[in-house]
Copies of this chain bind each other. A is one copy, B any other.
Amino acid sequence: MFLSTSHNKIDLKCRVSIPASFRVNLEKSNENLILFKSLQFKCIEGTTSTRMQAYIDAIDELDALSDDAFLLRMMMADSFEIKFDINGRVVIPDTLMNFASLSDKAVFMGIGQSFYIWSPTEYENQYMKSQKILKEKGPPKLFIKKKIE
């Protein structure tokens, strides 16, 4: 489970330390890390190879000519299997750096099954937005309901 938020530096080689707790999480379950473009936000999403494999297997179940299959294949094209160096760092591929407007700082945000990597400004925006919605609409009822089921 990926939880908590942390701010790490991206160096000139596009290297960044994955938060130790995330790493331990992957190592414990003997998983490789996959990074890909979020389909919803302007950020990178990180998850396990097992989870990605599940998506790949799911493509075969769909009508091969459908839009959903098409989009999922495109998503694979923008996904990367990432290796750690001995210190727990990874290199973020150029494509993803650009997509998420990353330069020298990254915000890691654990969201359970996966985690997000934001640029500081984009993270700030999303955070503000969530606070605003919370104030106007109150806590998310649907979410609570789903959890209890």
Q: Output the least CB separation between A75 and chain B (Å).
A: 8
Which residues of A90-149 are within 8 A (CB) of B?
93, 95, 109-113, 126-127, 129-130, 133-134, 137, 139-143, 146-148
- Prevailing SS type, chain A contact patch: helix
With a CB–CB cut-off of 8 A, which chain B residues contact A68? 140-142
For chain A, the bracket of interface size reads 35 or more
CA distance A68 to B143 in the complex (A): 9
* Distance of A146 Cα from B62 Cα, bound (Å): 14
Q: Do A130 and B74 have beta carbons less than 8 Å apart? A: yes
Pairwise interchain contact B110-A55, C-beta atoms closer than 8 A: no
With contact pairs A49-B1, A55-B146, A133-B71 given, residues A81 and B141 touching in the complex (Cβ less than 8 Å): no
